[in-house]
Every structure is written in C-alpha cells, then in structure tokens.
Structure 1
Amino acid sequence: MSRKSLWLGLIMAAMVASLLSFHVDAKPKKKKYETRSGPPTLSLAAEPMVIKACEDGHVQLAATARASDGAKLRYRWTVNGGRLRGDGPSPNWDLAGTQPGVYQAVVEVDDGRDLSCVAFSSISVVVLECPPPPPPRPVCPTVEVSCPEAASENAPVTFTANVSGGTPGITPGFNWTISAGRITSGQGTSSITVDTTGLSGQTVRATLDIIGFGMPCPASCSVSIPIMNKPRKFDEYYDIARNDEKARLDNYAIQLQQEPGSQGYVIVYPSRKAGGAQAQERSQRIVDYLVNTRGIDTHRVTTVMGPAREGWVVELWVVPEGAPPPAPQR
C-alpha cells in the first residue's frame, strides 16, 4: 500500500469517529420528575356533634392532616349552613339561629403544588329541636283558716277557709285533718263542722291542705274547749228509814262543806200514791236537816220537785261554781 493511501484511510477513520461522537452528544436527555407517594393523610372531628337550636350553636372543627414529604398544607372549608369563623385546620362553625336538621362541613387539603393530589373529608352535625319550656313553677295560694276563739263542749265548731291567689287556672282541692273530735260535715269543701263531744279541756286544731298545686299548701286554726263544770250526782236513795236517810244526808253535808263554792240541789221524785203536801213535807225535812243540824247555809241548798214515779226517789246533787243546775228526768 502506498503512503498516500495510508493517509487517506486515517483521515476517513477520523471523520467517522467524529460523526459518531456528535451523534451521541446530540441525543436528547430524559426529563426527571419528582416522585410523590400520594395525597396528604387527613382526619376530621367536630365537637360537639349534636346541639340544640336554642343553645350555644358553636362547633369546633379540627382537621388533622400531614403531607408525606412534610410540606406545608393549605385548607379550604365549605359548609351548607351557619357561618365559619377562622381558617386553617381549626375554624369555629357557628350554627346559631339555624333550623333543626343535619349540617355538613367539608374540608379539602393540598400542598398548593400538585392540585391533582388533594385529600378531602366531611363531617355532619345534628341540630335538634328545642324541648318546650317547662311549665312555670306552681305557686301556693294564700290560705287562711278561721275558727272561734273558744267553744263549748258538746257544741259543734265550724272551721272556714279563705283561699286566694296561687297559680292561675288551678282549681284548689280541700283536705281537712283535725287533732281531736270528728268531722261531721264539709270534708272536701272550704268549711267543716266538728263534733266536740267529750273534748272538755282539750284543744282542737283543724289543718287544711290545699291540693292541686304540686306542693303542700297548709293552713290551720285552733280552738280551745274549756273544762266545763258539770253538776254531779252525789247520791240517790229510795223510800228508806229515817235514820238511813240522815246518814246519807250527813255524807252529803260533808261533801258540800269540802266544796265551799258549790251548791246543793235536792231533786225529789214523789210516789204516785203520795199527795202534794206529803212531797213538800219530805222535801222540807231534808232541807231542815242540812241547814239546822249539819249547818249548811240555807242559800246553798235548793230543792226541786220532779215528776211522780212508782216509788219515792231522792237525788242529791253537787253543783260546782259556774256549772248549770241539774234538771229532773222525765
């Protein structure tokens, strides 16, 4: 091979190598993209989740989100009722004035760079109807019970109630109780009558409880039954011997002397066979013995003639001061 041919071959080889090198350098480089693992993690809470329309309607929302690469996140909130106050992960949701129903809050979270990679969540809050207001607290009426200051034994006593005011629209009921005696009429009404038989020396208290107001509404009144002095039969004898009669009258005189304020009443029931003069004679004989023999003041002894009976009967009575005199029995 000639030297000229050798140089020509070397030149051709260098040109081919240069072309190959240019082709490699001219090949375009692939664009590198940042690899992402997914949207942010997100959870959503609300406190409280149930409210009443008549109460404080503020609900605290709380979104907890985190980007996989730790990037700063942004929050976009929407609600279908009420008003949002604040932004970021924890706005306050004001549902005051809303009607009862179910309301929803929605949050979208992204990092502001890749809008196709968004996390979203929603939560519901229930607004309940308010219960009706409780009825007004009942108010007892003004209750006054009147009664006499004093009464007599065996005489009926009347207790009367006067009721006024209290919660409107309530018809009062009357329930009476008494400490002694017996209610003879009026239970369940505003006035009762009480039998005081045998209650001498006691106090009768009538207590009225007005019912229908949901609470005790009592009132009471008391009346005293003074001890009534009563005549008492000291002795009784029939047509007995004169000496036996004197013995009876002796005991009677002693009793009158032991009770200086008392009076002696002698009731003579003559025999139907005796005449009027005989009855008067026996009556006078008793008085003479008490006054002249036993020394009883004549003003302290009273004789009363009772109706005639089958046989003679004489009753000796002691009448304390202030007590009514005995009456002959028919």
Structure 2
Amino acid sequence: MKLAYRAFLLTLTIMALMLSVSAQTLRPEKDPRNIAPTVGTGGPVGGPTGLFTVYDGQTLRKGEWTFGVAYSNFDRDPGNVDLTEVPLNFQIGLNDYIELFFNTDAFRGIKVNQPRHLSSMYLPDAVFSNLPAIILAPNGLLNNQYAGQAIYRPIGNQPTVLYPYTGGSAGTFGYPGNQSGNPTLGPPTGGGEASLFPGVGSTYGSILPGVVLQTAAIPVGGNCPFPTSCTVPTVFTVAPSYLNDAPFIGQGYGESDFNTMSVGAKIRFTGPNNPVGVGLIPFYRFYTNNASSLSGFAELQQGASPGSKNGDIGLIAFGDARVRKWLNISANVGFIYNGDVEANGATLLDRGNELLAAFAVDFPVNKHFQPILEFRSQQFVGGRTPNAFENNPLDVIAGARVFPYRWMSLGAAYRYHANSQDRGSIEDSVFENFVTIPCTPGVGGAITGGNGCQPRVIRTSTEGRIPGFTPSTDPHGFIASFSIGRRNERAREILNKPATINSVDLSRTEVTKPCKPGFRPKEGETCSDDQTVNVRTSASDPEGDVLTYNYTVSGGRIVGQGANVSWDLSGVNPGEYTLTAAVDDGCGVCSDPMTKTVKVRDCDCEKECNCSELTVSGPAAVVQPGSTMTFTANVTGGDQQNLNFNWSVDKGSIVSGQGTQTITVGGTDALEGQTIRATVDMTSDCEVCKRSASDTGVVATKPKPVLIDEFGKLANNDLKARIDNLYINLQSDPTATGYIINYGPAREVARREKVIRDHIAFRSLDPDKVVLVNGGVEDTIRTRVWVVPAGADSSTINE
C-alpha cells in the first residue's frame, strides 16, 4: 500500500513538471518578498504557499513549482504528548490564480509523557492494559446484571487480547473461579454516533474506556481476599480521554511514515498585482492505515494518524494585505469535516470537526530575510465522542526565513503551546463522576463461593486541582524547513520617460460673481450666474503610455476627469485662484506641472426695487372733543424692507408713533366739529419707491342742554306727573342728567324740593339721575326742567 502511494506521489510530481511552462504575470524585481510552502502540522494542512502554518494571499504562478521538507516538533494535550513530524510537500502553479499541492508525512514520532491520561493506553493490547479503567460492563458478567453500566475494571483484571478484541476474556472482576460468568469483550453494538464496545470502551460510546487517575488500596487479609492488595477508584473519568491527533496511541513512543496525505488547491480571487489577496483552499486529507485490520490498527497504536477510513474534507479562507513594502498581514479561517473511525460496520470513535483560525504578520526586510510571527487556534466542534480532558490548542510561532535565492528557502521557528494542561489550567477544575464496582471486599472475611462479594457505587467530586492528574510541562517546540523549486524571472524595472504637458487652456481668466438676491447689475455691468471655467489640457508621452490627468486647485472644485474638465468656482470669495495640472503615465506624477490663474471679483450691483403700495386708515367714527384719534399706514406688496415713515397733521398734534406705521393724534378739545387730516410719507432704500397717503378723522360737536318743561304753581299731583315725564326723557339717553331749577320764595322752593324728593323716593327712582338747583329768590314759585346730555355744558342753564 505504501509503495502505491509513493508511486502516486512520483507520478504527480512528473506530471506537474511536464505541465510547468512559461510564466504569465511577472513579479516586480524590486519586491523583496519571496514565497515558500507552509509546513503545517498540529492542525493546519501543509503544502499551500504561505508562512510556517498560516496561508498568505500569494500563489505560485504558471511555470513555478516547489518541493518542500520540514522538521516540526510540537506539544499536544491530553497526555503531555510530544510530536515530531517530517512533512514533504509539492506545489505547482497553473496560472496567476491557482496552485495545486500535495503533502504527506515522511516520518512521524510521538512520545507520550503522561500515558495514564489517555484512554487508548488502557485497551486490552495496549501497554497499560493491566491498569484499572472505567468500562462499559462486558457481556456475561453475572448474567449481565450490569449491562449498560459503567463499571470499574480493577488492576490486573484484563488479560492481553489482540484487536479487534471481540470474544476475548474480560477478566474475573474479583470473583473466584468462574463465578463471574466468564465475561467476554464485545461485540460492538449501535449506540448513537459511536458504537458501544462492552468490556472495552466507555458508556458514552467509542472503543476507548474511561481513565483512572487515582485508587485507594485495601491491605491483604481481613476484607481483601486476594494475594495482592484490593483497590477502589477515587479519581476517574467515565468519558474517555483521547488525543485528537492520535486517538489510539497504545505505547509510550511510536513511529510511523507516509500515513497522512493531503491534496488540494489554493485559489486566489484578486488580481496578481493587487496588494490585497483573498481566496479559498479546498483540500482532501486521507490516511493510508485504518482500523479495518489488525496491522492497520497496530499502526494507529503507533500514533500514525486518527485513522479515518473515508478521510477528511477541509475548506480554508485566506486573505492578506501588503500594508507596507516591508510589512504583510495574513489571516485564515477554515473548517475541516473529519471522518469517523470505522471498522467492520462499527464506529470506533466519533471524531469532532475542526474550526481553524490564524493571524500572522511577516516582515520582508529584503529579498533574503523574512521574520514571521503567527498566532493560531484549533477548536474541536460539532457532535463527537466526549473527551474528558479535551484541549483546543492555541499556538504562538515566531521565526524567520532566509532566502539564499528567490527559489530556495531555509526557515526556523520557535513554537509555543500557549494553553497546555499545566498546573494553572487545572487548578479551578470541577470533577464529578460515579461508577459501579461489581465486587468489593465483604464484611465476612475471605470470599468463599462468592459470599461477601457485594456491588458498590463509587461517587467522586473534586474541585480545584485534580488528584492524580500530572500537569503538562515543556510546551515548547520548533520548526525547521527547507524548500527548493523554480521561480519565474522577475520583471525588470523599466526606466520611465515622463509625459509632457504641452498646454493648459482656460475658457476665461476672470469670473464675476453674481449679484446677491434683491440686487441687479448696474447699467453697463455684465454679471453671470455661471461660475465655471472650462479647462482643456494637452499632454503627450514619448512611450505612448495611457495618461491620467491630475488637477489641484486653491479654491473651488474640479468637475469631471481627463484632459477636458470644468473648474467650478461657485461660492468662493473674491481673489485670485490657481489651477495646477499634472499627468501620470503609470509612475506617479512624474511630469512637470503647469499652473494657471483665474481672478474672481464681485459684480457692481444696485438694489432691485420692488415697490410697495401705501394707504392710510383713520378713525372709523367721529371722536369726541378731548379724545385722541389713531391713524395707521397700510403697506401691501413689494419687498417691504428698510421702510421709513414720516407723519404730519393739519390740525391737532401727534402725541406718539412718529416714524412708525401708527400714530396717535391729540389736541381735539378746541376742534369741535372740525376734520383732522393725517399724511404719511414712506421712503426706503429705493428712491423710486417713495409713496405718500393720507386720511381724515372728524371731531364731534358738543351736545346742548335741552329745556323740556317749565311751569309755575302746580298741585302736587301735577308736579309729580312732571317729574315722571323727566325720568321718561332720561331713559331715552342713559348718559344724560336731569336738572330741576326752582325759583321763588325760599319757603316755597324748599317745599317743592321736598315734594320732588319724596316722589322720587316713593317711586324708587334713581336720585343720582336728577340734580335739584335753587335758581334764586323771586316773588312767585316757578320751575324749569332741563335734560343735559353727557359732555354738554350745564353752566348755562341757570342764566
């Protein structure tokens, strides 16, 4: 089988060399960065172009190929395992975007420093098969009364049985003679993702048992019937504990070769000269040995590989960015679907899938030296057989590559397992398990015919450091690599002849800003709303290179691209502005620039008048003498900005409001019955918008007292009737006042006034509406009755 795979490798190499022809896109000679294959190991597959374990964005190009060999030493847990691998790889470029690769391990050595941590060491043909373990109860033990339970397999119980174990003896479990029922191993049965292996594996499924880290011994004699001491487990796991890289390792040190092989492609999506490279790496990983035969399983017990019968499929996304000529950043993320370990229709182990992530920086100082720093994570995900001491490794790799030639590399790196299961990683552990012991020392002394042999359930709970668990040490490793191959010739630097700017023509050299809103150019002045200048550049290149035109302006902005553009100066302040034109023929702006100047000035403007209409509103009714009247200027239409008002009146005086739209006019006391005219003159910033308007207000005439009755001597009833008539007149003018003036002898006047007051009181009339006046002494009594309206002069009624 191995000869066939070596023949396959040789055939693939010969075909790749035959397909290798002339290159396509050439790398520049001045680029110091070189390419070499990845080493891989410890999770990532080796072979694709990259750093030590991280894939960068580069690929081999058509006509290029590489052979690579490396020596990689690294540490893994559980088991404090030290692995050494010698990977061989070959890559060939198909074009600027795709390379094919093949990788295999020419040698693999594995040393287990803590074998008691690994379940594979407790298998019936492994180095520690006689040590205690936690297993699924074997067939036939005490009439299968413990079927399906996790039981304790005591020390020295399991005799050596060769793989595949089925039908072999499972031991006596402390029962004398054949009283145990002659239990046997296997056969495997279904049990979910991983098969159940009675007498061998764990109750969780898989062929791997739980481990026992610590036991308690009961001395010989007394309750222990055996010639050696009896033991019970005190620290143990029901679930298996296994190393994902070599889950069936069965001895302290094992060696193998050409067991793991990977084939795949690295596909770049971005262009070969793009400083950012992204793409995918699909690959298939397969194993030359598996658990289908005794010899194949023996190789797996040497630590050759996980032993998946159908292999694994992976897909890795990669990306890198050339940040500086001397600095490159790379990152990877990927997923590997791992096949289960199967044999004869049974699943020995349900392997977890892998989620890979990595980040790296490299520093191509020059074309001969490249320091590298990598950070890598490997996570086991998805449904899988439980792993009691599972470790998801984190690696830090620091090293450098030396390139004596572009096509040859020498590399060396230090590798550190950052999260090994050292003392600090297990001090906060919580550890709980329980197991059945089919036979423990009884109370009645030595066992006779099984008497005194009683089952017992052991429960343990540990928090903090796990007793019996030996922490891992020395998590240090290293990588040494060598590669050789063919590289296409680098593109030599071509001395560029810069382009020449022949002319830069502007459509105008002076730009006049438009008038502000509300203003217009004065007569003879020309202004434009168009603030753009058309620019036309003429340039030539002696080599006929494609030219890119660049423009730099001190104000405004360039609209468009190429030889003909527009220079938009909208919004700039008056002044002089420059435009500098340059051309790029691929070397950057190598030509001599040419500068032009444009002057921007304000337009000579005058206000654009939009006149308003003016009217005046006077008082709506006549005004009583002594009162004020109001006049208001009404402005409609136009812009109504910066208006001034100047008022004048032909009579009276302006009390307030001069200079505003509304004034108050007083001094109407002596203007009874006259008309007052108010005139307003309105001016603004526009001389042509002068306006004048006026309105009038009327001052009312003062009312006169009215004589409504006059009589002499009367009977009291007639007098009272005359008083009633007065109040009737006052009801028609509530604001008026009645005056009763009595003339005559004093006694007669007093008697008449009394009759009047008594009648007013008797009739409940308002006494305040009437004023009694003594008109003076005369020979006979007489009375005059007046109605004096509000505002009338009552001083004349007694003349």
Larger RCO, structures 1/2 (Cα 8 Å, 6+ apart): 1
- Answer yes or no: same fold by TM over 0.5: no
User: By percentage of residues, which structure has more helix?
Assistant: 1
TM-score (norm 2): 0.15
Which structure has more strand as a fraction of its residues?
A: 2
